[in-house]
Amino acid sequence: MSANRFHLAWFGAGGFGVKSWRKTWSGNGGWDWTSPQLFIDLAMALERACFDYLIIEDSSYVPDAYGGNAQAYLASATATPKLDPTVLAPVLAQATSKIGIVPTLSVTEYHPYMLARKINTMDHMSGGRTGWNIVTSSSHRAAQNYGHDQQVEHDLRYDMADEFFELACKLWDSWEADAVALDERNGVWADHTKVHTVDFAGKFFSSRGPLNANRSPQGRPVFTQAGGSDRGKEFAASTADSIICGTAGGVAEMKRFRDDVHQRMTRLGRPTGACKILFMCSPVVGETDAEAREKRAQQIAFAEEHPELGLLHLSRHSGIDFSVFPLDEPIPDTVSTNGHQQLLRQAIGLTPREFLRRTQGAVEMVGSPDTIAAQMDEIMQEVGGDGFLISNFDLNRRYISEITDGLVPALQRRGLVRTEYSHPLFRDNLLEF
């Protein structure tokens, strides 16, 4: 096995919602999206390919940033509808036995006790394979659904996340590892001296504790996070077991991001090996390089024919109405957002049309399985690790197979990714190398 092994994970873009529809390989995706079967098929295929984890993205509002109304989002089923990922996650856990399942839950939409209890339950039910994708919701529309006028300021949301995380961890630790005695002779199921209140009173949250169930197999879930701003990277460096990086700008920018996070971790007293940084990508796979290039050309042509579909996401994440921006004039550096700052930075200076041509992730990957496997190997050697997070907004079963039955075997033949899981617990597999 190669010493240069790296990790693979999958980002479920669009969450538990409509995936591919009205396309050649969409199947019945427009109307049977509420069934978990596509996600079950995805999770089982990813486990067969020995992926570390599957993230289920989420948001809890109907977007209306583009054009000032929800028409384009609802007409195209973009970012809405969505069902609750915490209901889907246990279904996927029951259909699998090794892969990590990571629902997205927002610190601005949950109370720490509710979230800690929910995640503790899922980790028990999955046998120690649950994660928490930590997000701070950015949309004012989401805030309004929970009784607030608007979201708090960007950096303050991370202050809230710091406190939320601290309290949730105290709750997960409120039962000592050996608190369950199962002493049938003396009639003692749990030792009360090993179950503790937390009596937490912070600026934003408070809770007496303890949780009303014992520690799960992992104790605490695996934490994933996608902060790309300075404040976001600081939070991720202090908490995350795996960081999702959606940076653009190529290999040099990928390396700068990883080095930056490692410097922050070192300053915070965390070993750099305690967090795996996975870079977002969306490989375009064909049987030959020529076939893959043709598929990519078709993607670009579709994006240019339907520019609003690509700009819906940029508007949603930034809260800026990009329907009013000329397609062939650069996006000015005077625009700002209280939302996803990294994504907006990637768009500034480009024209909207140029932004639409951009590949998802830092590097464009187009080719046969062997071509892309060689490219991934070269990238990881230059960046230093730790792997890739594959995503596709237009998800269908054909694409799943192209990755799990085409690309992954090509990577395995080179000794670049695992061929089996070594441990029963999610965190142990993630931190194995």
**Residues 368 and 229 occupy one common structural domain:** yes
* CA-atom Rg of the chain in angstroms: 22
Evaluate whether residue 278 is within a structural domain. yes
Instruction: Report the SS3 class of residue 78.
Output: coil
**Residues 121 and 54 occupy one common structural domain:** yes
Evaluate whether residue 369 is within a structural domain. yes
Which amino acid, residue 257? F
Return the residue matching tokens 């200076």. Answer: 349
State how far the Cα of 367 lies from the Cα of 296, in Å rounded to an integer.
Answer: 9
Instruction: Check if the beta carbon of residue 132 is closer than 8 Å to that of residue 223.
Output: yes
Nearest CA-CA partner of 354 in 310, 293, 417: 310
pLDDT at 3: 54
**Residues 103 and 24 occupy one common structural domain:** yes
Evaluate whether residue 232 is within a structural domain. yes
Return the residue matching tokens 């929970």. Answer: 146
Evaluate whether residue 307 is within a structural domain. no
Return the residue matching tokens 């992926």. Answer: 51
List phi, psi (to 5°) of 177.
Answer: -60, -30
**Residues 96 and 22 occupy one common structural domain:** yes
**Residues 165 and 72 occupy one common structural domain:** yes
For the chain, helix, strand, coil in percent to 5 are: 45, 15, 40
Tokens representing 206 are 């408070």
State how far the Cα of 146 lies from the Cα of 115, in Å rounded to an integer.
Answer: 16
**Residues 226 and 269 occupy one common structural domain:** yes
Instruction: Check if the beta carbon of residue 363 is closer than 8 Å to that of residue 281.
Output: yes
Tokens representing 346 are 């990637």
CATH of the domain at 281: 3.20.20.30
pLDDT at 339: 67
Per-residue pLDDT of the chain (433 residues; tens, 9 = 90+): 445 899 999 999 999 999 999 999 999 999 999 999 999 999 999 999 999 999 999 999 999 999 999 999 999 999 999 999 999 999 999 999 999 999 999 999 999 999 999 999 999 999 999 999 999 998 999 999 999 999 999 999 999 999 999 999 999 999 999 999 999 999 999 999 999 999 999 999 999 999 999 999 999 999 999 988 999 999 999 999 999 998 877 999 999 999 999 999 999 999 999 999 999 999 999 999 999 999 999 999 988 888 888 899 889 988 899 999 999 999 988 888 776 677 787 788 889 888 887 777 779 999 999 999 999 999 999 999 899 999 998 899 999 999 999 999 999 999 999 999 999 999 999 999 9
Evaluate whether residue 47 is within a structural domain. yes
**Residues 56 and 192 occupy one common structural domain:** no
**Residues 249 and 194 occupy one common structural domain:** no
Which amino acid, residue 111? H
Instruction: Report the SS3 class of residue 170.
Output: helix
**Residues 97 and 182 occupy one common structural domain:** no
**Residues 154 and 272 occupy one common structural domain:** yes
pLDDT at 2: 47
**Residues 189 and 165 occupy one common structural domain:** no
Exposure b/e, 316-339, CB count within 10 A at least 16 = b = bbbbbebbebeeeeebeeeeeebb
Evaluate whether residue 39 is within a structural domain. yes
pLDDT at 335: 82
pLDDT at 1: 41
| Number of domains observed in the structure of the chain | 2
Evaluate whether residue 301 is within a structural domain. no
pLDDT at 346: 79
pLDDT at 243: 98
State how far the Cα of 392 lies from the Cα of 281, in Å rounded to an integer.
Answer: 8
Q: Whole domain around residue 182: which residue ranges?
A: 174-207
**Residues 185 and 274 occupy one common structural domain:** no
